[in-house]
Amino acid sequence: MASEPQMNEADRAVAARPQLPHPDLTLPIPTLTFDYRMSVELNPKIAVGRVPSGGIRNWISFSGGSWAATWGSGTVLPGGQDSQLVDSESYVVKMETMYLLKTNDADPAYIEIRTRGFRTGPKEVLQALQDPVRADSVDPSTYSFRLSVAMETGDARYAPIVNQGMWIGSGMRKGAQVVYDAYRIA
């Protein structure tokens, strides 16, 4: 007697929802591969205040940092910014950031990084992350800091690597730094 083929998680999810278009199709499941780690030094936040879009807007610029990837390494240039919208009740943070990387090559390349994401978790933990002194002792497993990451460069050496890539990041606050790992989606 032949055994039934094993269904993967995606196949089971599709089979459980027959109203989905083309429930008989099996699409490839994306995979995540660690690609780089970045550490960014933060300047003190500037509280813009309560804004019409709902919440408290913070503006944080960067004083520098470093990064290392499977395909290169270098520094995070001063400048860039993190625009945060903090929910005044839950302290959940919606963020959009821009960084400029410089590679360690003799003739350096410049790579722009843009992220969008959320920091969620228990209110007390998220409140502590607003203070760099308290943030240094917060266990990153007690909250979620997730980002979608896009990169772009005009440098021919790195364009094939970064211009068509997609990444998901997992981050943490470490005192007056943000550290995150980025995983390439394939």
Domain ranges of the chain: 29-185
Query: Considering the domain 29-185, what is its CATH architecture?
Result: Beta Barrel (2.40)
Kindly calculate the radius of gyration of the chain based on its CA atoms and give it in whole angstroms. 20
pLDDT of amino acid 1: 52
C-alpha 152/C-alpha 97 separation (Å) is 14
Element (H, E) at 48: strand 46-50
Q: Which long-range contacts (CB under 8 A, 24 or more apart) does 52-55 make?
A: 53/85, 54/85, 54/87, 55/85, 55/86, 55/87, 55/88, 55/94
List C-alpha distances in Å: 67 to 111, 135, 163: 12, 21, 18
For 56-166, strand residue ranges (E) read 56-69, 72-76, 79-86, 93-103, 110-120, 144-152
Single-letter code of the amino acid located at 119: R
C-alpha 172/C-alpha 125 separation (Å) is 12
pLDDT tops 60 at residue 3: no
pTM, entire model: 0.86
pLDDT tops 70 at residue 156: yes
Confidence of residue 26 (pLDDT cuts 50, 70, 90): confident
pLDDT tops 70 at residue 68: yes
- C-beta of residue 48 within 8 angstroms of C-beta of residue 59: yes
pLDDT of amino acid 2: 54
pLDDT tops 70 at residue 66: yes
Burial class (CB in 10 A: 0-12, 13-18, 19+), 144: middle
Poorest-pLDDT segment among 39-53, 102-116, 148-162: 39-53
- C-alpha torsion sign, points 137, 141, 146, 152: positive
Could you report the per-residue pLDDT of 39-63, keeping only the tens digit for each?
999 999 999 999 987 899 999 999 9
Six-digit token string for 138: 């917060």
Single-letter code of the amino acid located at 114: R
Element (H, E) at 162: helix 159-162
Tell me the average pLDDT of the chain.
Answer: 92
